[in-house]
C-alpha cells in the first residue's frame, strides 16, 4: 500500500513513517518542516526507494493536488498540525490556518482525488482519539485525524 503521511517529520508522524516502512509499505512524507519537525527521525528510511519526501504546506491546496496527482496514494494519514498548545496563546492564527484550514484542504484534496478516479466509495474518513495515562497518573486526551 502507498501511504501519504502528513507531518511525517513530527513526533507521531515520524514513528508512523518508520513503522509503515518496516512493514513494507510505500510512504510519501508531506511536511512543511516547521520548528516542530525533525527529519533525523526518518533518516533511517530516507534513502529507501519506497520512501519519498515532499516539502509542502497543507495550507497550499494546489501543492496538495499536485502531490496526490504525482504519488497517487492508497491512503492518507493526516498528522501535520500545530500541536504545541502553549503556542496557541501567543499565536492562535497559525493553529487556525494549519489545524482547521489545512485539514479542510487535506479533506478536499483527498475527496477530489478519489472522486476524479471514480473511486468515491473508497473515500473513508476516520478520526482517532487518543487517551493515555502519564507517569504522574494524569489522564491525557488528544485527537488525530
Ligand X SMILES: NC(=O)c1ccc[n+]([C@@H]2O[C@H](COP(=O)([O-])OP(=O)(O)OC[C@H]3O[C@@H](n4cnc5c(N)ncnc54)[C@H](O)[C@@H]3O)[C@@H](O)[C@H]2O)c1
Would you tell me which residues interact with ligand X (CB under 6 A)? 6-7, 9-13, 31-34, 36-37, 57-59, 79-83, 98, 102, 130, 142-144
Cβ proximity to ligand X: between 12 and 107 the closer is 12
Cβ proximity to ligand X: between 26 and 82 the closer is 82
Least distance to ligand X, CB of residue 33, Å: 5
Least distance to ligand X, CB of residue 22, Å: 18
Place of cell 496563546: 89
- The DSSP-derived string for 48-117 is -TTEEEEE--TT-HHHHHHHHHHH--SEEEE------TTHHHH-HHHHIIIIIIIHHHHHHHHHHHHHHT
Cβ proximity to ligand X: between 11 and 120 the closer is 11
Amino acid at each position: 500500500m502507498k501511504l501519504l503521511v502528513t507531518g511525517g517529520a513530527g513526533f507521531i508522524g515520524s514513528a508512523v513513517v518508520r513503522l509503515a516502512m518496516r512493514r513494507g509499505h510505500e510512504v510519501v512524507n508531506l511536511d512543511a518542516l516547521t520548528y516542530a519537525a525533525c527529519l533525523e527521525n526518518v533518516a533511517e528510511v530516507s534513502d529507501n526507494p519506497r520512501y519519498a519526501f515532499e516539502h509542502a504546506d497543507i495550507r497550499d491546496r494546489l501543492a496538495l493536488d499536485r502531490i496526490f496527482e504525482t504519488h497517487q496514494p492508497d491512503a492518507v494519514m493526516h498528522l501535520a498540525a500545530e500541536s504545541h498548545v502553549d503556542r496557541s496563546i501567543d499565536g492562535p492564527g497559525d493553529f487556525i490556518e494549519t489545524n482547521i484550514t489545512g485539514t479542510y484542504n487535506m479533506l478536499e484534496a483527498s475527496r477530489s482525488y478519489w472522486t476524479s478516479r471514480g473511486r468515491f466509495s473508497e473515500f473513508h474518513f476516520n478520526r482517532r482519539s487518543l487517551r493515555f495515562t502519564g507517569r504522574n497518573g494524569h489522564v491525557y486526551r488528544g485527537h488525530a485525524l
